[in-house]
Amino acid sequence: MKVIFPFLILALIGLVLRLASSSQSMRPTEVESGPNLTLLISGEELGYLEPCGCAEGQLGGFPRRDSVIQQLGAKGNTLIPVANGDLIKDATRQSELKAEIGFAALKEMGYVAYNVGERDLLLGIDQLKYLQEASGIPFLSANLFHGENRVFQPFVLHTANLHGSQIQMAIIGVLSQSFEIQVENAGADLRLGNPTAVLTDLVEKLDQAADLIVLLAHADLAESEGLASAFPQIDVVVSGHEREELHEDPVFIKNTVLLNTGTKGKAIGQLDIRWSDDRTGPDYEFQALSLSERLPDSPRMIELLMLYQQMLTAENLSADMEREPPTTGGTYVGSASCKGCHAEVYAIWKESKHAHAYQTLISHGHAADPECLTCHTVGFGFQTGFVNIETTPNLPDMGCENCHGVGGNHVKNPQKGYGQVTQADCLTCHTTQNSPKFDYEVYLPKIQHWKGIGGGYETAKGF
Ligand code: HEC
Ligand code: HEC
Ligand code: HEC
Ligand code: HEC
Ligand SMILES: [Zn+2]
């Protein structure tokens, strides 16, 4: 496990936040509500801290989420943001850096609890404990044990002030019993307790101590529903693990509200909680706030995400990763190597958007981000492919060899038969997420650098 210069990062974050807090106020948006006690639920970002920007209309991202939170707060609401785990997707170095920034961001947004998910466990317990300490957010897991002891605290008590009265909240976290294997893989002596058994003890005690019990269940909806019906003392159950969208309509299991978080941070759930004057209730009102591009980006989140990009650059992450051999053999040579013999083709390509794909990353501040380089440069992830602009200045942009295959052999010994292209080649990058409007019939003519069907191509000059 590598923990990188944590103090430097925290110092930088402090600086960034001071800078950001002096910025301009925001434009008005669609968010509406009066003063309330508001539970804000999110989870399962799976590494999506912001939309990539490849297509219009993408939802989500911390900058928009923070704007919503700030707007709700400005209306006098008492906000309780809680997270239900799986902030990251895997255990790569990039995910470690992302976690570092992600938890700092949650802290800035005022999160009061983080329920550990099975993907988080991939980072390892030491790293999670470090992240808990660095962010100051309590990490919860009532049923994750190391020998006889709990790894993280089972719940957190949170006092919320609402119109002068104090509401005592207990927020508990559990992990689905289906993750035994993931727990074992996370470390020797780690074991997963049965959620029901663990809650039987806890809920009884907390029922006395708290006005409101919230259970964060990192479990699918069926298992969460089971917990909701087994423990009527729990007021709110938040479910979250691999469910597609955030459900607009909460389910009621007797008096317990059951909600889910959605995935990839595309929306945030807002549960307004009210008591009448005689403290009966509570009553609930729920809405899924979709984080659309109409929402402004919060400057302090933008600063944090820029810091993340600086960390990727500082670690030279794109150079420091495993690479597979190219599928067709040979070495990548770059689009300029084709120019000498295919001048006309080259000129057409040079005018296409493909030839500006790396510039796009530069203008969006992602020029060193391995998650973007895959589709915006030549041969990234393969041996002899793009590394970074200094090491491989010949391989930026979406070039000839991404479609026609590695060109080294062809350049040395040009032959017919090289580089057949099919729709499947396009679809490796034009995925539903990155290119939802992709239609081969429409897109193919836009990149045409050959004479139409049966027309034959004016072959390479000089042959
Ligand atoms: C899976 C491949 C893939 C990945 C990964 C990817 N992109 Fe893209 N990107 C595309 C494709 C394909 C398009 C063109 C979509 C279209 O027009 O239909 C695109 C377009 C874009 C555009 C719009 C360009 C324009 O001229 O309008 C931006 C901005 C962009 N990507 C940024 C990024 C960033 C930033 C990342 C990393 C966070 C990223 N991309 C990761 C495939 C990818
Ligand atoms: C290695 C990844 C990759 C492959 C393979 C790929 N593209 Fe693209 N494509 C991109 C990226 C990235 C962009 C956006 C470039 C930019 O503007 O920054 C893009 C943009 C485009 C655009 C411009 C869209 C617009 O908004 O005008 C067209 C058209 C296109 N691609 C067609 C194709 C076709 C057809 C294929 C297959 C024959 C293909 N692409 C294969 C990555 C790829
Ligand atoms: C987005 C994918 C894509 C990119 C990028 C691309 N090509 Fe092509 N190329 C094709 C497709 C599709 C054809 C159509 C012929 C086919 O079916 O293979 C083609 C055809 C050709 C042909 C003619 C083949 C023939 O039979 O007429 C040549 C030569 C060629 N490309 C060279 C290049 C060169 C050089 C570059 C870079 C400057 C380049 N291509 C970039 C997809 C691409
Ligand atoms: C030294 C000259 C030369 C260079 C450099 C060169 N080619 Fe070619 N290329 C040729 C010749 C010659 C042919 C065969 C033309 C023919 O007989 O129709 C050809 C054919 C092709 C074809 C069509 C294959 C077919 O079966 O019709 C593609 C695609 C192609 N080249 C792509 C590229 C790409 C991509 C590069 C750069 C990586 C490149 N070429 C560099 C000379 C060259
Ligand atoms: Zn999960």
Residue 123 pLDDT more than 60? yes
Nearest CA residue ID for atom 23, ligand 2: 353
What is d(CA 388, CA 396) in angstroms, rounded to the nearest whole number?
A: 8
**What is the Cα–Cα distance from 278 to 276, expressed in whole angstroms?**
6
If you count them, how many residues does the chain have?
A: 463
CB 368 within 8 A of CB 388: yes
CA 39, distance to chain mean position in Å, is: 21
3-class SS at 310? helix
pLDDT of residue 162: 81
Comparing C-alpha atoms, which of 240, 8, 19 is closest to residue 108? Answer: 19
Contact assessment for residue 219 and residue 182, using Cβ atoms and an 8 Å cutoff: no
Tell me the pLDDT tens digit for each residue of 344-389: 999 999 999 999 999 999 999 999 999 999 999 999 999 999 999 9
* pLDDT the model gives residue 452: 57
Q: Fold for domain 330-446? A: Flavocytochrome C3; Chain A, domain 2 (1.10.1130)
On the question of pLDDT at 161 being above 90, the answer is no
The confidence score (pLDDT) of residue 329 equals: 84
Spatial neighbors of 178 by CB under 8 A, at least 6 apart, are 219, 223
From 54, 421, 426, the mutation candidate for ligand 2 (largest count of ligand atoms within 8 A of CB) is 426
Does the beta carbon of 437 sit less than 6 angstroms from any atom of ligand 1? yes
453: enclosing H helix or E strand:
none
Q: Output the CA–CA distances (angstroms, integers) from residue 84 to 21, 139, 143, 245, 442, in the order listed.
A: 27, 10, 15, 15, 41
Element (H, E) at 81: strand 78-83
pLDDT of residue 163: 77
* Range 233-256 burial, b when 16+ CB lie within 10 A, else e: ebbbbbbbbebeebbeebbebeeb
Q: For residue 225, what are the β-bridge partners?
A: none
Q: Does residue 55's CB lie within 6 angstroms of at least one atom of ligand 2?
A: no
- How many angstroms separate the alpha carbon of residue 434 from the centre of ligand 1? 6
In this structure, which ligand is nearest to the CA of 362? 1
For ligand 4, say whether the CB of 28 is within 6 Å of any of its atoms.
Answer: no
Task: State the average pLDDT over residues 297-312.
Answer: 98
Is 2 a pocket residue for ligand 4 (Cβ < 6 Å)?
no
Run of H or E including 159? strand 155-162
Q: Whose CA is nearest to atom 3 of ligand 3?
A: 403
**Three-state DSSP class for residue 37:** strand
Name, in order, each residue with C-beta under 8 angstroms of 373's C-beta and a sequence gap of 6 or more.
318, 361, 380, 386
* Protein residue with least CA distance to atom 26, ligand 2: 353
Give SS3 for 84. Answer: coil
Q: Which atom of ligand 2 is nearest to the CA of 374?
A: 1
The whole-number average pLDDT for the span 127-143 is 98
Residues 396-448: tens digit of each pLDDT? 999 999 999 999 999 999 999 999 999 999 999 999 999 999 999 999 999 99
Distances in whole angstroms, Cα of residue 96 to Cα of each of 3, 101, 134: 9, 9, 13
Q: How many CA atoms lie within 13 A of 336 on its CB side?
A: 6
Helix/strand/coil for 298: coil
Question: Does ligand 2 lie within 6 Å of residue 64's CB atom?
Answer: no
Q: Pick the more confident residue, 460 or 333.
A: 333
Residue ranges per domain, the chain?
6-310, 330-446
Give 272's strand partners: 38, 285
Confidence of residue 328 (pLDDT cuts 50, 70, 90): confident
CB 71 within 8 A of CB 26: yes
DSSP 154: S
93/2 Cα distance (integer angstroms): 9
| 443 Cβ inside 6 Å of ligand 2 | yes
Q: What is the DSSP annotation of 173-213? A: EEE-GGGHHHHHHT-TTEEE--HHHHHHHHHHHHHHH-SEE
Look at residue 188 in the predicted model and tell me its pLDDT.
83
Ligand 3 midpoint to CA 310 (Å) = 36
pLDDT at 318 over 70: yes
Q: Report every protein residue that has its C-beta within 5 angstroms of ion ligand 5.
A: 86, 117-118, 241
Report the percentage of the chain scoring pLDDT > 70.
Answer: 89
Q: Which alpha helices (H) appear in 22-92, and where do they start and end? A: 62-74
CATH architecture under which domain 6-310 falls: 4-Layer Sandwich (3.60)
446 CB-side CA count, 13 A = 10
Residue 9 has a pLDDT of 46
